[in-house]
Each structure stands twice: as structure tokens, then as C-alpha cells.
Amino acid sequence: MPKQLDSSNIPKHIAIIMDGNGRWARAKGQDRLYGHSSGVDSVRETLKAAVEFGVKHLTLYAFSAENWGRPQQEIDGLMELLVASIHGELPALNERGVRFSTIGDVSRLPSACIDSLTDAVNSTAKNDKINLILALNYSSREEIVSATKKIVQRVLDGSLALDDINLQEFQQALYTANIPDPELVIRTSGEHRVSNFLLWQLAYAELHFTPVFWPEFRREHLVEAIYDYQRRERRFGKTSEQVILEK
Ligand code: IPE
Ligand code: IPE
Ligand code: MG
């Protein structure tokens, strides 16, 4: 554990908006796909550090529903990179005890992607060191609409009473059912927005923004983000005096 971090206050769930691959590549005179493939190294290093620090869930925003609007060549490259990365990283995921899953509507991805995702989910299902959750074709607004549909269906079926719809039931209808809300959300590349990511789940998350482009994100940047998190006073609506007394 890095000495500046308090091991008793590590976020259980960290979510990252991995941004800046394209700008990083362009600045190096390379094409955007070079940025994406370099970003895979950052994923590997970040995951390794997260396991080391005792993080239990790591959610990575890899492809948004809005990203389908990009040039087809970039989309194709990203999908190929996904398949190749899963194939290449799977043995290491199993060695490190990583349990892999996804959020988002993966059914709309190319079939080669669905196959390798299914393979990774199945082959890592018994691992329990950390949950690696990849957000793919993810839209938080879609997630909320889809949760609403599931709830309404249960009401129509008669398996849920209108008066029993509550936060708990709703949370269980999201893609992230059984995953605790992230305490810390990191966005790289200097952009200060959430871009349709985990809108429900980040209600009380601490947000950390760093100018570092994703392909350059390393262990030290994760340490920096957790250090920043540990300096926040999380009040959940209470006063600072109350929070101090409760400690
Ligand atoms: C993040 O990097 C990766 C994806 C969204 C797939 P970008 O590709 O958005 O890189 P910039 O923001 O254009 O630099
Ligand atoms: C958000 O990044 C999506 C991912 C990191 C996968 P974008 O680069 O797509 O977000 P905007 O369009 O700049 O908000
Ligand atoms: Mg971007």
C-alpha cells in the first residue's frame, strides 16, 4: 500500500471514464486507434493497482451508446481491439482473480464481441479478488428506461405492488444490480462532465478530474485520485459537525 494512502479508507468501487485516447494519439502524430490500443496498457496497470489496493469493483467506461456516432472505421477498430484484448488478457485476469462482467446493452455489439465477452464472463465467474465491469454500448438514460420497463412489467404481472416500488427495487432493476454505488468516479483528459455514465449510481460519488490522457494513466494517478478522495468530507446531507461526531 502506498504510504500516503489510508488502507482503512479505500473506495470499494471506483468507476473510470477513460477519456483522451484520440487527442493523445493525435498529439503524437498517430491515428486515434493507436490511442485506443495504448489505452489497453493503462487498463492493465490500473487493474493491477486496484487489486493491490484492495478495491473490490472497478467499472471502466469503454464504449458509450453515443460512440456509435463515430466514424465506422474507428468503431470497427474498437470492436476488434475489444476481442483481441479479451483474448490476450484472459489468462492474466484468471491469474489475478479478476471476475469479469459488463454493463450496457451488449446484445447490440458484433457477434465476435459477444462471443469473447461471454467467454470471459464464464471463465472468470468463480474469481473473487476484484470485479472488473466494462461499460459497453452503455447509456445511463437507457439503463434507467430499461429498469422502468422491468418494474412496470412486474406490476402488470402482479408480482410487484405499485406501493412496493422503492429505491431498493429500482436499484435491483439496473444493470448494476448487486454492485454497490461507486464512491469515487475518475475522468481523465481534463473534461469535466459525466457523459451519460452511471447517473443514478453516482448520486453521492466523489468526482476526481485529472488532465492526464487515458493512455498515460498509471498506478501513480490512481494513487493520486484515491488520495484526493480520502481528503474529502463525505457528508451525505448532514453537517460537518455531525460527521465529525459520528467518527
Ligand atoms: C476515450 O477516448 C475512448 C472512447 C470514448 C472509446 P476518446 O476516443 O474519446 O479520445 P478523445 O476524447 O477524442 O481524445
Ligand atoms: C465518454 O467519452 C465515453 C467513454 C469514455 C467510453 P466520450 O469522449 O465519448 O465523451 P464526450 O462525447 O466527450 O462527452
Ligand atoms: Mg473523448
Determine whether the shortest distance from the Cβ of 67 to ligand 2 is under 6 A.
Answer: yes
Mean pLDDT, range 204-229, rounded to an integer = 98
9 pLDDT band, cuts 50/70/90, is very high
Mean pLDDT, range 17-43, rounded to an integer = 98
Residue carrying the nine cell digits 476488434: 80
Domains of the chain in sequence order = 7-139+180-246 (3.40.1180.10)
Rg (alpha carbons) of the chain, rounded to whole number:
19
> With left for phi above 0 and alpha for psi between -120 and 50, is residue 147 left, alpha or beta?
alpha
127 pLDDT higher than 90: yes
For residue 194, the number of C-alpha atoms closer than 13 Å in the C-beta half-sphere is: 17
pLDDT digits (tens, 9 = 90+) for 76-85: 999 999 999 9
41 pLDDT higher than 90: yes
- Residue 46 to residue 117: CA distance in whole angstroms: 20
Ligand 1 site-directed mutation target among 189, 196, 197, 212, most atoms within 8 Å of CB: 189
247 pLDDT higher than 90: no
228 pLDDT higher than 90: yes
Mean pLDDT, range 159-176, rounded to an integer = 98
Q: Which three cell numbers stand for residue 209?
A: 478530474
Q: Which three cell numbers stand for residue 140?
A: 445511463
Determine whether the shortest distance from the Cβ of 63 to ligand 2 is under 6 A.
Answer: yes
Mean pLDDT, range 134-144, rounded to an integer = 98
Average pLDDT of the residues of the chain: 98
Q: What global pTM score does this model have?
A: 0.98
Return the amino acid letter for 185: V
Determine whether the shortest distance from the Cβ of 205 to ligand 2 is under 6 A.
Answer: no
pLDDT digits (tens, 9 = 90+) for 56-100: 999 999 999 999 999 999 999 999 999 999 999 999 999 999 999
- If one counts every other C-beta atom within 10 angstroms of the C-beta of residue 116, the result is 18
